């Protein structure tokens, strides 16, 4: 059920019987020479709306700009400062609680948002307003993601490429896949010396490790792999929503002081 398609009367019927909302959250930022800057919010919205379709739960409009200053050197990247993002998402969530929602799933497709959505969830939980969870599609199916590609990567790599090949093939620059690989960091390793020393992460911006902002080998991606990943992760999201919806409200409130 997509909120923006319905009248206020129809939405009142939903809030009378349900208390869960799905909120897709992404970014608008560089994803290399082969993928659109819409990549993250397209993926987030696709998962959220599919889960809402399968479950009947409410899906809100997508938050399309997130915390992305680490991609700022690349043309067109948009971002908001982290404190502003946290405050905005907290306010958005409390808008939903005003209508009776007390459990929220942030369907997130941008790594830069993760810690901030967790903080939003903390605020809402501590105040007793709502129980909000941050969900990342690839983290729900890590083994399948890793087994699907020879050289995976966290940004603009084969997993995201496969997803957009499946969801929006018209937006993939197929003739730029090799350039994306060759001018990026194809053999990405989070523990490599160029990324970490003595246990400390040594870079702030993606351009410091990848000239085109890409990590992983995109030439291993296909729409068929994207579909397999999409179906598997959607199953995980549906199960999460159903689990959360069934929990007693008392189990969602902060525990008393010992």
How is 189-256 classified by DSSP, letter by letter?
Answer: -TTSTTTEETTEE--SSGGGT-TTS-BS-GGG--HHHHHHHHHHHHHHHHHHHHHHHHS-HHHHSPPP
Produce one character per residue of 92-109: b if its CB has 16 or more CB atoms within 10 Å, e if not: bbeebbeeebbbbbbbbb
Q: Helix or strand or coil: residue 148?
A: helix
Q: Express each pLDDT in 70-124 by its tens digit.
A: 999 999 999 999 999 999 999 999 999 999 999 999 999 999 999 999 999 999 9
Q: What is the pLDDT of residues 155-183, one digit of tens each?
A: 999 999 999 999 999 999 999 999 999 99
Q: Given 3.90.1280.10, 3.40.50.1220, 3.40.50.10310, 3.40.50.720, which CATH number is that of 3-252? A: 3.40.50.10310
Output the pTM of the full model.
Answer: 0.96
**Ramachandran assignment for 234, one of left (phi > 0), alpha (psi -120 to 50 degrees), beta (any other):** alpha
Q: At 42, list the tokens.
A: 């397209």
| Number of CB atoms found within 10 A of residue 159's CB | 27
């Amino acid at each position: 059920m997509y909120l923006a398609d319905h009248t206020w009367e129809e939405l009142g019927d939903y809030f009378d019987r349900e208390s869960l909302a799905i909120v897709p959250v992404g970014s608008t930022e560089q994803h290399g020479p082969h993928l659109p800057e819409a990549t993250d919010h397209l993926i987030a919205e696709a998962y959220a709306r599919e889960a809402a379709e399968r479950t009947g739960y409410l899906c809100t409009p997508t938050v399309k700009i997130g915390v992305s200053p680490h991609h700022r050197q690349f043309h067109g990247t948009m971002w908001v400062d982290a404190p502003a993002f946290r405050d905005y998402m907290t306010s958005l969530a409390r808008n939903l609680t005003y209508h009776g929602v007390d459990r929220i799933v942030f369907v997130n497709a941008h790594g830069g948002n993760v810690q901030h959505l967790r903080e939003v969830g903390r605020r809402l939980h501590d105040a007793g307003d709502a129980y909000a969870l941050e969900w990342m599609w690839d983290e729900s199916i890590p083994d399948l993601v890793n087994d699907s590609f020879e050289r995976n990567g966290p940004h603009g790599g084969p997993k995201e490429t496969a997803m957009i090949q499946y969801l929006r093939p018209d937006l993939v620059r197929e003739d730029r896949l090799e350039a994306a690989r060759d001018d990026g960091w194809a053999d990405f390793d989070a523990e490599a010396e160029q990324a970490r020393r003595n246990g400390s992460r040594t870079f702030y911006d993606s351009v410091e490790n990848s000239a085109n902002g890409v990590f992983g080998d995109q030439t291993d991606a296909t729409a068929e792999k994207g579909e397999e990943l999409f179906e598997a992760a959607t199953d995980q999201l549906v199960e999460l929503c159903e689990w959360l919806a069934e929990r007693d409200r008392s189990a969602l409130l902060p525990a008393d002081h010992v």
